Amino acid sequence: VQLVESGGGSVQSGGSLRLSCIASGKPFDGYNMGWFRQAPGQGREGVSAINFSGGSQFYSDSVKGRFTVSRDNARNTLYLQMNNLKPEDSAMYYCAATDRYDGSWTDLSPASFNYWGQGTQVTVSS
């Protein structure tokens, strides 16, 4: 499956952005999906994940209550609505897909995901 992110940009603290990730190549509803981010000099961090049907969502503590993950399987698209953004949210954001169904991906570990997009940059100024 190929993944292409969009929607990144520069916003002020407290602002909002909506990221999108369009999938192609394989049936989108066969994959559990995730959002990750990586700031310069830091490791890749799991932000959120959603199961193949969209019925279950998972969030890191750092974004819980501010970010919402969703998917539209008819449009082969994954979304991340980001509200009340903070400077520490600044990073390159990646969407990822996994064909694992053992639940290991729900811990938002990058190692559990095997398909990755190229990323979209989010910059939040104070």
Mean pLDDT of the chain: 97
Which pLDDT tens digit goes with each residue over 70-79?
999 999 999 9
pLDDT at position 61 is 98
Rounded Cα distance between 105 and 122, Å, is 24
- The pLDDT, as a whole number, for residue 104 is 87
The reported pLDDT for the residue numbered 103 is 86
pLDDT at 60 over 90: yes
Over residues 80-112, the pLDDT tens digits come to 999 999 999 999 999 999 998 888 899 999 999
